[in-house]
Every structure is written in structure tokens, then in C-alpha cells.
A and B are shown apart, each in its own frame.
Chain A
């Protein structure tokens, strides 16, 4: 087991012929992901390497039984790409694109809720279930199959934390980067229950950062609903208020969204909070009784 992506994932890549889309499609195939189709309007009938290209997601789904999509389309067209996937009946969408207007995401979020779609991103590294499937841009070889679920608002910081887990011999069931934007398809609160009910996941690492209140809400959920151990790191204790720290969603606004508040909420929920990322591995090992 694992969550969101696995051996049953049949992936359609939206924007497969673009520079990033083509590069990462090859990387995903090399990792063992079943990439069954690509979509680039106007290039239907062609192929990228051995992957058939379709003009629309609907045709790709009809032609290949694709059940998951990953989006590499530029920001101006990515909103359309997300809606297209929803309407074509895709139930798991992973949107890598960075720089999508936030107002567009209000409508997209509403659409995925109404259609029972699980979406990760936008502005995220994607999802990997080591040894099974990689849907995104994270480096495959740093991961290994194991008992830890990782959910994070960051990209490279997640790799750093995965590295810390590997140092103590802990592999991962699934690693998810939820995305750095103010409005994303899935937040901690949506994904923690999936990890809690996944038999292969024994413990969860939650990597948060300044901005918003997702970590506080996750803390409430952990305290009241979760039996599996959770350990955490929150980035941005040294970040000044009112300044956007790279991610559109990483900003302390109106005195809210500080790292201190988030760390306090998690600690109160019984979650050990690492001072620095390299403590995550040892903390998780301890939490799992190692």
C-alpha cells in the first residue's frame, strides 16, 4: 500500500511536449511509472518516445484508461488544464505548474470538491511512492520504500528531510509535496487521514512553513484523530513579517501564520518538532520505537 499513486497509476501527462513535460516524462518512465498518454492540443496522433499523444484529456482517457494526470502546462493555460482533467473524469490530478493566479484556484478548488477529485498542487514537486510510481519532479534515487509518510509544503526541503530519514535507515511509503501556493488542492488535513488508514505507513513527517493556518488545523486533527506518530519541522522561524518568502503562500500577514504559533500548536498536540531538518530522521526513528 501507499497513497495517491502506486502500481495501478496510469498516468497522462498534460503538456508532454514542452521542455519540462518531456524531460520529466522520461524521468518518470525511467523510474517505472506507467505513463500511458500525453496531451498537447494539435499534436494528437503523434508520439513522444513510445507515449501516444492526444489532443484532449478526454480522448486520452478513452484511448488508454488513464486514471491520473500530471500537469506541466504554463501558468496561463494550467487552469484550463485542471478543469479539463476534472471534466474528463480523472480522479487524481497533480499540478506541478508554478505561478497560477490565486483567483483561478478558487474555482478549481470548488470544481474538484464537487466532482470528488483529489488534487495535489499547484506549485508542487508532486507525489512519489518509492518503488512503485513517481508522479512529479523529485529525484527518484534519494528515496527508498519504507514505513514513513511525508507530507510537505516544500520541494528541496522535502528532499533534505527524506535524506535525513535515509541516514537512519527509514524509507518512505509515499512523499507528497502539497505545493507552496495560498490555495492548493490538498492540504495537510486532507492527506493525514489517508496516511492514518494506510497499513504500510507507520509514522508521518509533516513539513510546514510560515503562512496560513494549515499546520494549526493539522495539529487539531492529529490530537483528536490520529494514532500513528507524527513528527514535524516548520520552516521560517527567522522570516520577517509581511515579506513573501519565495512561495506565494509563505507570508506572515496581519501577525498570523508565524512559525512559533505553528510549532506551539503541534507541540501541544503531542507532535515532536525538530529544531533543524537533520533532527527529523532521529525523531522519527525514536517515535517508531527504534
Chain B
């Protein structure tokens, strides 16, 4: 789960990372009041879940207090990569002498946490990794050793030559690590970590992504979810325990299992059409879940036909068929529907569907070819 910069900054601050004072607000007049408290000059920073905010004009430096309201008014409501800015962070502007990068992530290859630092901060770090790999430094934490002070000093020494700055930065990196672990993060970044002309080190931009699987033990962070940052269909899917990702195509698909759902999308593409979504209903056959899934698919105006792809295992096909039948009774649709049922209790399931007036297919390829055909103008 992504959280906003101001939320990540609060988490860092709680763990002692030095971040500038600031406040997140939703209106220009609140922005003015916040700037009054903090003292100009300030930064007006859009709070949206995308990178490249600065380039898009979503981060503005405002020198005079009297201009804050106007600038905040421009940034609020701005659209950045398809997302509308609903909140801005009003933050104390700090003079910058140097900019560095500090990041840490769950390293899948090492199966450990890895910290990454670079003296080339304030820019896209992946770009630095491509063009100047010699400026990237990594340290992977051995879980039986832990993240020790010497390791933090080594990383900090790659950023600065001045021993005083190294000591300060090492402290910030250690506190950032504590914040990472305490909040069950999967990724955390300070970009840039800056020094001021007078020799202070500050974390200017804060980013934390949190492991979805850990939200059950992170109630405070779970509440930080910004419903404005997701589509209503995504919210509905999440609340009903469905995995859903909207796409651009015309074939709505409803599948049991994530891998099979992905493969179904690929097969749709293989036969010349585009999937409208990824949707995994999981192992459940409850009619409520299928109804919720159908609501999501039919509310997508791009959808021209619907494909059910069910491989019955422990979840029996006849249970799923009953769920589908009840769902269609509750939510009749004019869209053509193709149902593929294979596996455990397939025959009983087909009977249930046929009695309800639906034809079913056994082969996934055949079902996909059929749904592609009907979506292109034929009838089911």
C-alpha cells in the first residue's frame, strides 16, 4: 500500500529522522494559515501517489506568505498522471547545498533488506543506476547480525567527506531503518537527503510503501489509505476480498486464482482481443462475491462481453455454478456471457448452468475464442 509523503514524513519524524516542519491541507485558505504558522518561504507539494510530481508542476517554491493561497489554489485540483490533487503539503523551505539519495527495500533476490545510497540525489535513482552505476552503493543486512552502527557509518561515508556530516547522516539512516521495520515497509526512500549551507542534514522528501500483508498488525497505517487515490471499483473489490486491476480492453474476466487470471488475460490477447481487467475471485464460491465481481465488471462501460474461467479444484465447479446463477438472478445483464468450467464436479456444474439458460465450455482456449468472437459483434 502506498501512503502519502506527509504520512511517511510523520512516521520518519516519530522515529527521530530530521524532517522539515509542515502540514497537509485541502484548501487554499488552510494552506495560507499553515504557511503562517510555519513561516515563509515554503514549499507547496502535491500529495498524489505518482513519481515525477516536480516535473509536472506539482511542487512549487513560494517565497512570500501572500502568494501561498494563490499557488496552493493552482496545485490543488491539478491533474498529475491521471490523479487529481486533493491535498497539498505545506512545508518549510530549506536552503540546499547538496542532495543525496537514501533508500531501503525488501530485496527479493537476497531475501533480505538492502539499503541503497547515492551522492547523486534529488533525481530519478533508476536513471543514476543506469548512467552512473559507480555512484550507487548497496548494503544488505544479515538478519542474524542486524543493521549495525558501523554499516550506517559506511553508507554515510559514501555520501559525505566531512566527519560531522557522516555522523549526522549515519544517525538518520539508522532511524530510517527503525521506521522501515516498525512500519512493515516494503520500500522507503529519502530523496533528497540534503545538507544546508550551514552544515545540517535534512530528509526533504519522504516515501514509504507498506506491505499489504502486514496491515493486520499496522492498524494506524491501514487507516492512512487514501480512498481518493483508487477507483470506486477498486475500493469495492478490496472490501469484498477480490483482487482486481482495471485495464483498457473489452473482455471482462472473472477467474479463480491469480496465476490463472493472469494467464487468462494473456490468452485473450493471444486470440486477438484485450482484457478489461484482472479479477481473481479466489477460492470462494459465495454468491455475494460473484455479485460484487459482476457489479464491478458491468459498471465498466468498456466491457463488451464477460468470461468466467473456473478450474475447479478444492473449490467445486457446482458450488461456483450456483454462485454464478444466483449472481445473475440478482444482477441480470444484457452483456454476452461465456462460462468455462473444468475440474471437480464439472458435470453437475454444467447442468446447473444449462438449466439456467447458459452454455458452458470445457476448454479455456475454446472459451476465450468464443468470448473474443461475441465481443467483436456476434451474439452468445
- Chain A residues within 8 Å of B, Cβ to Cβ: 23-24, 27, 75-76, 99-103, 105-107, 109-110, 114, 125, 137-139, 141-142, 152-160, 163, 180-183, 207, 209-213, 217, 233, 235-240, 243-250, 254-255, 259, 275-278
**Which residues of B lie under 8 Å from residue A114 when comparing CB positions?**
144
Contact between A103 and B266, CB atoms less than 8 A apart = no
CB distance from A219 to the nearest CB of B (A): 14
The stretch among B29-37, B58-66, B109-117, B154-162 that forms the contact with chain A is: B109-117
Report the separation of the CA atoms of residues A276 and B265 in the bound assembly, to the nearest whole angstrom.
10
Q: Which residue of B lies closest to A104 (CB)?
A: B214
Contact between A213 and B108, CB atoms less than 8 A apart = yes
Contact between B260 and A106, CB atoms less than 8 A apart = no
CB distance from A237 to the nearest CB of B (A): 5
Against A, the Cβ 8 Å flags (1 = close, 0 = not) of B179-193 are 001001010000000
Contact between B364 and A277, CB atoms less than 8 A apart = yes
Contact between B365 and A239, CB atoms less than 8 A apart = no
Report the separation of the CA atoms of residues A57 and B274 in the bound assembly, to the nearest whole angstrom.
49
**Which residues of B lie under 8 Å from residue A243 when comparing CB positions?**
245, 278
| In-complex Cβ contact of A239 among B262, B270, B280 (8 A) | B262
Apart from A154-B258, A155-B260, A246-B243, 16 more pairs, CB < 8 Å:
A103-B211, A139-B313, A141-B344, A157-B259, A158-B259, A159-B311, A160-B311, A236-B262, A237-B266, A238-B247, A245-B258, A246-B258, A248-B212, A259-B266, A276-B266, A276-B365
B220 contacts the other chain (Cβ, under 8 Å)?
A: no
Report the separation of the CA atoms of residues A86 and B112 in the bound assembly, to the nearest whole angstrom.
19
- Chain B residues within 8 Å of A, Cβ to Cβ: 106, 108-109, 111-113, 126, 142-144, 181, 184, 186, 211-214, 216-217, 243, 245, 247, 255-263, 265-270, 274-275, 278, 280, 311-314, 342-344, 363-365
**Which residues of B lie under 8 Å from residue A137 when comparing CB positions?**
313-314
Contact (A212, B108) CB under 8 Å given A180-B258, A250-B262, A277-B364: yes
Q: Which residue of B lies closest to A249 (CB)?
A: B108
**Which residues of A lie under 8 Å from residue B186 when comparing CB positions?**
102, 182
- In the complex, 18 of the A-B residue pairs with CB atoms within 8 angstroms, ordered by the A residue number, are A101-B213, A103-B113, A152-B259, A154-B258, A154-B259, A155-B313, A156-B313, A157-B262, A160-B263, A183-B106, A212-B109, A236-B266, A247-B258, A248-B211, A254-B126, A276-B263, A276-B270, A277-B364
| In-complex Cβ contact of B263 among A106, A125, A180, A235 (8 A) | A235
Contact between A139 and B314, CB atoms less than 8 A apart = yes
Q: Which residue of A lies closest to B180 (CB)?
A: A103
Report the separation of the CA atoms of residues A275 and B268 in the bound assembly, to the nearest whole angstrom.
11
**Which residues of B lie under 8 Å from residue A107 when comparing CB positions?**
143
Most buried by A among B108, B126, B181, B261: B108
**Which residues of B lie under 8 Å from residue A152 when comparing CB positions?**
259
Contact between A24 and B314, CB atoms less than 8 A apart = yes
